[in-house]
Amino acid sequence: MDASFIQKIRCSSRELIRELGFLSDGAKRWGIGHSACHALISLRTHKALNVNQLSDILRLEKSSSSRLVSLLVKKKLVISSSCDHDGRSKSLKLTKKADNFLSKMDAEVNEMVEKALESLCETDKEVILKGISLYVKGIKRARNIIGISISKIKSCDGKEVGQLVRDILPEFGGDKPGFAFMDPELDYMAEQYMSPGWCYFVAKKDDQILGGGGIGPLEGADKGICELKKMYFYPEGRGLGLGKKVLKACIDEAQDLGYEKCYLETLEGMHHAKKLYEKFGFISLAGPMGSTGHHGCDTWYVLDLK
């Protein structure tokens, strides 16, 4: 991406944050700042939270959130009480005083936002809303993918990758004969996928496996055809673009290994995976190729690697 464009985005972001300083005008009268306002709004949205949950929402260290909560309790804006199910955890709830403060703040801020938008046409307003929403979504996604690595399987990964497949397939009804759930290679994934003509890519964050996918020769088919194998992701690894990266790595590796076509089989219900395959140019087939033994699959694709 153009570096100058990135700088423009950063500059606009800083200006927006500075201009949104009006959010703190009402809060100053109560002796609290931005973080405290966001904490109160979060508590109003979620009804009741503990300090750890509030820390996650505000992107703050637990110690900082604890100090923030202490201030809000002192200001009589928040009540802290023991949870029924866990006496060690404190449930945080808004007081009537906090409700009144938020009502006044909403009125002030709504008026300011309305004035900021009143000179714009409806189309421009929608563009702003959509643009901000997409930008926030992109920032959240970027934060989640920082620290994630994608690399070829190592000996120490084999057991965890096998467990990945066993953990995910039941979600799609694939924990029975006719699916990869029963494949013997799940017990020796590293050894199998470190063999000539095979490869498996693992997505990790903080040494935790989020998902992966690999290729290997298609059983019962021409030597020039490989199969995309065991591409699955845990829920925390989905929606981050990892499927696209792992699939590209597999296709690139298949081409480097001299394969001419890449075949895969999946389930009709795996809608997100199917959309990804089709974006990469995989063509739907009327029936299976080779003899994978996965007769439980009901959807087949092939990609010309040449």
Distance CA 93, CA 106 (A): 19
**CATH no., domain 149-304:** 3.40.630.30
Paired sense of beta strands 148-152 and 78-82, if any: unpaired
pLDDT tens for 157-172 read 999 999 999 999 888 8
Distance CA 46, CA 91 (A): 11
Q: Are 66 and 55 in contact (CB under 8 A)?
A: no
Q: Are 204 and 149 in contact (CB under 8 A)?
A: yes
Q: Are 68 and 35 in contact (CB under 8 A)?
A: yes
For 286, which DSSP code?
A: S
Distance CA 266, CA 127 (A): 38
Nearest to 267 by CA among 238, 295, 237: 295
Can you give the pLDDT at residue 278?
95
pLDDT tens for 60-82 read 898 998 999 999 999 999 998 86
- At residue 230, what is the residue type? K
Residue 21 banded pLDDT, cuts 50, 70, 90? low
Can you give the pLDDT at residue 104?
86
C-alpha distances in Å from residue 285, one per residue of 108, 150, 217:
59, 30, 19
C-alpha distances in Å from residue 206, one per residue of 14, 90, 146:
31, 29, 10
Q: Quick one: which H or E segment has residue 7?
A: helix 3-19
Distance CA 186, CA 280 (A): 27
**CATH no., domain 3-119:** 1.10.10.10
Q: What are the residue boundaries of the structural domains of the chain, listed by start?
A: 3-119, 149-304
Q: For the whole model, what pTM was predicted?
A: 0.70
C-alpha distances in Å from residue 262, one per residue of 122, 210, 244, 246:
48, 24, 16, 14
Evaluate if residue 27 carries a pLDDT over 90: no
Residue 87 banded pLDDT, cuts 50, 70, 90? very low
